[in-house]
Amino acid sequence: MPVARLLASCCCLGAPSPSPPLPADSKKEEIMAAAAAADSEVITHRTVEANGLRLHVAEAGPAGAAAVLLLHGFPQTWYAWRHQMGELAAAGYHALAPDMRGYGDSDAPGAAADSAAGAGHEQYTAMHVIGDLVALLDAVGEREPVFVVAHDWGALTAWNLCLLRPDRVRALVALSVPFTPRSPARRPVDGLRALYGDDYYICRIQEPGVIEAEFARLGTELVLRKFLAYRTPGPLFMPKSGWGSPDDEVPLPSWITEEDIKHYASKFDKTGFTGGLNYYRALNKTWELTSPWTGAEIKVPAKFIVGDLDLTYHTPGIQDFIHKGGFKKFVPLLDDVVIMKDVGHFIIEEKPKEVSEHIISFIKKFS
């Protein structure tokens, strides 16, 4: 999950058609399993040397076709895009979904240092991660601008990619996290602490090793359930007294299966959570490094999609920013803003078909 108000366009220019009724749970599980199996048949995997790291990349679609770079957030991996990859391939695009640095089967620099209260998180600034993406595109032969589609932390990274290297981006679809301009007055974590207090999840994450110990106490699968099932349209808190009990029962939402949870858990059991948490810990360092871009605009065509139950959409001031011109001011080529009704934060998995349709309809304008 991302940093919200640090991060909110103009009014909703269109709402999706109502979704058809969901089938009964057992039938729904069968349908989702069949769809996932079909998607997996078109997805291939490889490891690429980029920016001094080994990055795992999932791919689908014809080589040489227009490339779509898919950037995931926390706590996910390339696997979050499994549904969209099949749809993009069927539409004739070449989908590239890396495990971002620190996640899945990609390298996690600095993770051991941070678990020992070191400064490894400083290897997760926007400069480092954007360096990974540029090097990745070069390594796979994508020298021309690509389409970028990004969710959560991936979206924050994508906005920074557009800000720092607009020459590498043809157009952007950002989900859940809008672009917001850098505030010269206050570091982002300081602002969040003043707004929400020390128990706000981003503030709790800041001290290396502490939240890792809490996640270890709860267990990987339960931590993932707690994040993925979160639908409260408001801030997420992790009290110092504990984020619940290891015996908590958290029912899964309808759009994710036990098999999906086990897949994610297998990756986080292997890498730990530190790599993903380091993005949050590097927020203030990124703020320092991006000072020269204070007040700069995003000069890339963009579309923004968010669910109306997404916690990011309910950060104080964000809806005014989105709907009253602030977003459009800083992203002048903003083409469309879509607010999806009754949809939470993990929108790309909760509404995979609708999201795929929004992505493809937008990038076709530039194909």
Cis previous bond, 16, omega within 30:
no
Gap between the Cα atoms of 80 and 284, Å rounded: 27
Catalytic: which of 121, 280, 313, 336? 280
345 classed as catalytic: yes
The 10 Å Cβ neighbour count of residue 356 is 21
Amino acid in position 132: D
Residue 270 contacts by C-beta under 8 Å, 6 or more apart in sequence?
Answer: none
Tokens of 2: 């991302």
Distance of CA 226 to the CA centre of its chain: 17
152 classed as catalytic: yes
Check residue 237 and report its DSSP letter: B
Cα–Cα–Cα angle for 17, 19, 21, nearest 5°? 150
Residue 148: beta bridge partners? 69, 172
- Largest Cα span, the chain: 54
Catalytic: which of 94, 121, 128, 345? 345
Tokens of 15: 């709402």
Check residue 6 and report its DSSP letter: T
Provide the 3-class DSSP secondary structure of residue 149.
Answer: strand
Dihedrals phi, psi of 259, to nearest 5 degrees: -65, -40
Gap between the Cα atoms of 261 and 219, Å rounded: 12
Which single residue is written with the structure tokens 């309809």?
361
Catalytic: which of 99, 114, 152, 310? 152
Residue 26 contacts by C-beta under 8 Å, 6 or more apart in sequence?
Answer: none
H or E stretch covering 304: strand 302-307
Contact 67, 146 (CB under 8 A): yes
Mind telling me the catalytic residues? 152, 280, 345
